[in-house]
A and B are shown apart, each in its own frame.
Chain A
Amino acid sequence: MEEIKDPAYFKELAHRLMFDLSDAEAADIAAEFETLNKQLRLLESIDTTGVEPMVYPFETPTNYLREDVVDHVISREDALANAPKVRECHIVVPKVVK
């Protein structure tokens, strides 16, 4: 399992996800994370020798594919309802050119 992460690690992580954490928030998260980590370390005590890792809970593939028919479209009002800022029917965000 991974080593203990300090608050600075979470500040950096938050920065990469484009938001800021205060020192207090970062310290809280670091503490919470360590609690979770402790729980996960318990799992390490289970012997998994010879057990293949699984990605999905069921190993049988499915075969359903959706027909190419328009079945659901929402109104523009609904589409834009959650946006804090709208201009000319577009959602406006601060300019961050990748």
Chain B
Amino acid sequence: MEYEVIIGIEIHCELKTKTKMFSGAPVLFGAPANTCVNEIDLGHPGTMPCLNKQAVAMAVQACTALNMEIDPLVRFDRKNYYYTDLPKGFQITQQFYPIGRRGHVEIETENGPKVIRIERLHMEEDTAKQFHYDAGTLIDFNRAGTPLVEIVSEPDIRSGREAMAYVEKLRQTLYYLGVSDVKMEEGSMRCDVNISLRPVGTEKFGVKTEIKNLNSISNVQKAVEYEIERQTQILNEGGQVVQETRRFDEASRTTISMRKKEGAVDYKYFPEPNIFPIQLDPEWIRQLQAAMPEMPEVRQARYAELGLPENDIALLVANKELADYYDQVMKHTQHAKIAANWVIVELPAGLTKLNTKLAENPVAPQAMAELVNMIVGGEISGKQAKIVFEEVLQGKDPKQVAQEKGMKQLSDSSALIALINQVLDEQPQSITDYKNGKDRAVGFLVGQVMKKSKGQANPAMTNKLIVEELKKRI
């Protein structure tokens, strides 16, 4: 039987604030255990939560970037459950009035662009981190109270690829906004995938499973594809999918049952009595929206207008820091394509050789632009530029390096013509070849002229002049 795949995704994302959602204790990843807490995070009796302004600002910007309606009256609720990672015995969340509703993002699929609707975005607090050992569970409360947003999609996703594209789209958007580190492997972005199958043409949703423990974008696709296969097989054999939580096992590339869902858990939600509803100032919301950085799709369109090839655009947009650097370079040059090539190819290769990262990039954007301008202006050849770049990577100025090395591109046509004629006199066979229509003779002659000029001849000019001189001799 043919099945339709129904996928909805919940994403939890830690906000990059300095302090907790409801307390003034610091948020630091990788700090020594239990050193970033205060009484509020530990749920001591009598402590009162106090909402972090920056977390709300980031949530407002995230809602805006995801095309959501913003509820300017911020309200919180309690989700009650007893577990050792939750010191208060309840989590403060936004069950009844999420700050964002009815949004959407567009993803690229094999069949063109597709809109994935987003049901809600709400603010909440993270739990403590637990380490389970045979002898007991160790708890680090540093993470307790870290601001989170949870983003819930509508069940609009239909395949593993779409699931991956959706998660990547959210990841990129939140990263560009600067509201989160969105590192799946470090847990600052966590992804739960709900997946069910139904016979094509039917309306009723099938029984769903929830997949957790997806610690990379590519695992999202792998896990979904495995789960589709597993559920298809069960249904084809006349069986029934069990509603349960499964985790992705990276080693076997399969999903493994964690626990069965025994009816819906009753979290006894009720409005959080310790936080009164907070009315956001519409002017403040407007200011936050006006201050938002450029989003990936806008950058993409801007690069397309510069005439960059699709591959270069994709590469730059996917690598925000590199693209930021490229934008800096472009402030000092007009030559978008050549600059892109140097930023995408030569710079990372150079940094790898230096065993350094882009964050410590020694090449000032002006220097990179200068080098590009020198190439385009015919001052140095592409080959020479690579030699100059070796020293630009040491922090030197390209003009100065070229001068020190006595590099000049020979672009003086009378000097070039003299060289060319010397070469032609030495290579009569090439002239015959050219007469017989062997165009590659020109390439050979260019090579000879380059050799004679010790690499300084301007290749484009040489090529053009050789053809002219050849024609004179035919």
Chain A: residues with CB nearer than 8 A to chain B? 16-18, 55-56, 58, 61-74, 76, 79-80, 85, 87-98
Contacts and interface: CB of A to CB of B under 8 A. Distances in A.
B229 to A, nearest CB: 27
B25 A72 contact: yes
A87 B131 CA distance: 12
Contacts of A88: 33, 138
A74 B26 CA distance: 11
B141 A91 contact: yes
Contact of B141 (A63, A72, A79, A98): A79
Nearest to A65: B53
Nearest to B58: A68
The 6 closest A-B pairs by CB, nearest first: A71-B24, A68-B54, A90-B138, A65-B53, A61-B279, A61-B277
Interface residues of B, number: 47
Interface in B326-381: none
A49 to B, nearest CB: 23
Contacts of B62: none
A14 B376 CA distance: 79
Contacts of B25: 70, 72-73
7 contacts: A55-B273, A56-B277, A64-B50, A69-B18, A72-B23, A73-B36, A93-B137
Interface in B417-457: none
B82 A72 contact: no
Contact of B52 (A18, A61, A68): A68
B91 to A, nearest CB: 13
Contacts of A94: 136-137
B256 to A, nearest CB: 14
Contact of B19 (A17, A68, A76): A68
Given A16-B82, A71-B24, A91-B138, 7 more contacts: A56-B277, A68-B52, A76-B34, A79-B141, A89-B34, A93-B136, A95-B137
A90 B38 contact: no
B35 interface: yes
B84 interface: yes
Contacts of B273: 55-56
B305 to A, nearest CB: 37
B136 A92 contact: yes
B37 interface: yes
A90 B24 contact: no
B141 A73 contact: no
Given A55-B271, A61-B276, A95-B137, A89 B26 contact: no
B211 interface: no
B237 interface: no
A66 B50 contact: yes
Interface string B29-44: 0001111111100100
B52 A66 contact: yes
B168 interface: no
Contacts of B19: 66, 68-71
A11 B54 CA distance: 44
Given A68-B52, A70-B24, A95-B134, A89 B278 contact: no
A94 B132 CA distance: 9
A80 B133 CA distance: 19
A94 B17 CA distance: 32
A66 B24 contact: yes
Contacts of B317: none
A16 B53 CA distance: 36
A92 B138 contact: yes
A74 B37 contact: yes
B148 interface: no
B33 A90 contact: yes
Given A18-B82, A68-B54, A91 B34 contact: yes
Contacts of B37: 73-74, 79
A90 B280 CA distance: 39
A85 to B, nearest CB: 8
Contacts of B132: 95, 97
Contacts of A98: 83, 259
Chain B CB count within 10 A is highest, among A55, A68, A74, for A68
B13 to A, nearest CB: 17
